[in-house]
Amino acid sequence: MELIATLLIGALAGWLGAFIFKGGGLGLLGNIVVGILGSFVGYWLLGKLGISFGTGLVGAILTGALGAIVILAIINLLFNRK
């Protein structure tokens, strides 16, 4: 059950990150991967800054979306996507 929740949160975070970043969407599977990786990046980045979006589902999605935006920005810089 936790795996399904992780995939759903990753998909939502990746979709939200791609929606905010405009044009950074990588499809459903790509959004799930970016959202899950974005969660790690988001928790690390927010931890370094001493910020927390809270615990629970909403906090996890927002943190994952922030990390997804960072990952999508790096992907766009590396591959010069428009």
Model confidence, pTM: 0.83
Domain regions of the chain by residue span: 2-79
In whole numbers, what is the pLDDT of the chain averaged over residues?
Answer: 84
Residues 6+ positions from 64 with CB-CB distance below 8 Å: 9, 10, 12, 13, 14, 16, 17, 35, 36, 38, 39, 42
Question: For residue range 62-80, what is the model confidence (pLDDT) as tens digits?
Answer: 888 898 889 888 888 888 7
